[in-house]
């Protein structure tokens, strides 16, 4: 058992509830963590037996390009696609940070963390 991760993926996207967020967009950082058994990849040196970073990045990128209101929903959509691509995954965690959210004060990030164990239905 192990974990394959991509951390600090940055995007400019248009997610949010408020009209300003939908027009101007914002900077987001995404972290993806996939818990899986990659023992066969360790011994075989074969990408087919582990999680492909490129495929993970493409999943995140595709979802960041389609605006949604809630980051919770966005994380859920990413997890569903990761589980489709890697059905043997034991757990998937998505962390989404919105930089400098417009809250009327100084806030570095708003953060949503979505994680599902493999028995998610």
In angstroms, the first-to-last Cα distance of the chain is 22
Model pTM?
A: 0.93
60-115 confidence digits (pLDDT tens): 999 999 999 999 999 999 999 999 999 999 999 999 999 999 888 999 999 999 99
CA 22 to centroid of chain Cα atoms: 20
Q: Give the helix/strand (H/E) hosting 61.
A: helix 53-64
For domain 2-117, the CATH architecture is 2-Layer Sandwich (3.30)
pLDDT value at 120 more than 70: no
Q: Which residue has the tokens 């400019």?
A: 12
Domain ranges of the chain: 2-117
pLDDT value at 13 more than 60: yes
DSSP structure class, residue 88: T
Active site residues: 98
Q: Which residue has the tokens 């990761």?
A: 82
Share of the chain above pLDDT 90, in %: 88
């Amino acid at each position: 058992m192990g974990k394959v991760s991509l951390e600090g993926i940055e995007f400019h996207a248009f997610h949010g509830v408020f009209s300003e967020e939908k027009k101007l967009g914002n900077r987001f950082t995404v972290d993806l963590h996939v818990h899986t058994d990659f023992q066969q990849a360790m011994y075989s040196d074969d990408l087919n037996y582990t999680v492909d970073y490129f495929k993970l990045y493409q999943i995140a990128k595709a979802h960041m390009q389609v605006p949604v209101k809630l980051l919770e929903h966005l994380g859920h959509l990413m997890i569903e696609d990761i589980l489709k691509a890697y059905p043997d995954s034991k757990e998937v965690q998505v962390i989404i940070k919105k930089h400098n959210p417009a809250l009327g004060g100084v806030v570095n990030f708003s953060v949503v963390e979505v994680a599902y164990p493999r028995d998610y239905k």
